Amino acid sequence: MIYVTRRAEFSASHYYHNPDLSPEENRRLFGKCNNPHGHGHNYTLEVTVAGEVDPTTGMVMDLKELKKLLEAEVLEQMDHKFLNEEVAVFSTKIPTTENIAVEIWKMLEPKLRLGKLHRIRLYETPDLYVEYLGD
């Protein structure tokens, strides 16, 4: 078993707000991230696929294919977007780094033909990242 990781970047904006809470509670919980105009990040995404090395190719999977998959399934939906208003799932779910990572897992996991999705790591900034390994 070997683990292959591919990194990609996207730029998006978001804000944090829970409509079930009072404005004061939202401000206390989310601080500057509660600004409804949104603010943005260069997200760095690392997708890790686990699998056996295919002796014909010496590879777990074709990384050109993985790159296309990332572009079609993730970047196309999220890059240069305002996540709260332009990505459907985040109209009812707060687009925290945690929730974005879980959604990226759900976008990619059913589409992988070779190998098995092992881990989504998502950096919001170089100093803050989240990892999700599935249920």
Which residues have a catalytic role annotated?
Answer: 33, 80, 124
For β-strands 116-125 and 81-82, DSSP reports them as unpaired
The conformation of residue 85, written as its DSSP 8-state character, comes to H
- Give the contact letters, 59-78, x = binds to a second copy (CB under 8 A), - = no: xx-xxx--------------
For β-strands 2-14 and 81-82, DSSP reports them as parallel
If one asks whether residue 132 binds a second copy (CB under 8 A), the answer comes out as yes
Give, as ranges, the residues between 21 and 50 that touch a second copy (CB under 8 A): 21, 29-33, 35, 37-42, 48
If one asks whether residue 98 binds a second copy (CB under 8 A), the answer comes out as yes
Q: In terms of C-beta density within 10 A (0-12 exposed, 13-18 middle, 19 or more buried), how is residue 23 classed?
A: exposed
Contacts to a second copy by CB under 8 A: 1-9, 11-14, 16, 18, 20-21, 29-33, 35, 37-42, 48, 53, 56-60, 62-64, 79-82, 85-86, 93-99, 101-102, 125-133
